Structure 1
Amino acid sequence: MLAAVATGRLDIWTTIGAHLYFIGRLIYLPLYAMGVPVLRTVIWMAATAGLLMVIAGLFLG
């Protein structure tokens, strides 16, 4: 996000991606602590998708 802000490449996709990453990681932590394997993986993949959205917005925006 810092690179996207510094280069001025902010759009709706980078914003959604940043929120998806942050919320995904926030939900992942208690799931990891409780030992929930399948849902934890789904949340991890959602957070990774958010990160990829930010990266794509940085390079394609």
Structure 2
Amino acid sequence: MTIEALSILIYAMLLFAVVVTQATYAGITAGNAFGFSNRDEPQPRMGPFGRRVDKTLANLKEGAIIYLPLAVMAVALDVSNIWTVVAAFTTIISRVLYVPIFFAGIPVLRTVIWAPSFVAMPVMAWGILVG
């Protein structure tokens, strides 16, 4: 399996882990009735941690909209070069570190850890173009 393909798998599992965290936290703080509701009302007793989990998930989804199609394209086109490998590795390391740092509420470090994954997106695109 190429690092580009592995990055797709890891990103998907990271998204899954954050969704499970969000659902578990909602169940603990708002109760099962809220979890099984239509969620027409805001989550009660969400607290700062719950808001950070929601923001983490939103950020991961936003990044996935850009990164995952590029990584899938690299895999589908059988393109693996220094650009795509570095972009995939950077994205996964950055995102795996980003989640617990955002959960912990460490503001400046959160952005410093996130930034490489953002830069990796055009690097992946460049790697596909030159590959």
Which sections of structure 1, spanning at least 5 residues, go unmatched? Answer: none
CA drift at 1:9: 2.3
**Residue type matched to 2:130 in 1?**
L
TM-score, length of structure 2 as denominator length: 0.43
CA drift at 1:5: 1.8
Instruction: Report what 2:10 is aligned to.
Output: none
Which sections of structure 2, spanning at least 5 residues, go unmatched? Answer: 1-70
Instruction: Report what 1:25 is aligned to.
Output: 95
Report the Cα distance in structure 2 between the residues aligned to 1:5 and 1:45, rounded to whole angstroms: 24
CA drift at 1:52: 2.1
**1:1-59 CA distance string (max 9 Å, x none):** 21012113220110011010011000000010110111110111111112221111112
Report the Cα distance in structure 2 between the residues aligned to 1:27 and 1:33, rounded to whole angstroms: 10
Identical counterparts, % of pairs: 36
After the TM superposition, list the runs of 4 or more consecutive aligned residues in structure 1 that deviate by more than 3 angstroms: none
1:37 matched to 2:102? The reply is: no
Instruction: Report what 1:58 is aligned to.
Output: 128
TM-score, length of structure 1 as denominator length: 0.86
Instruction: Report what 1:49 is aligned to.
Output: 119
**Number of aligned positions between the proteins:** 61
- Aligned Cα root-mean-square deviation (Å): 1.2
Instruction: Report what 1:9 is aligned to.
Output: 79
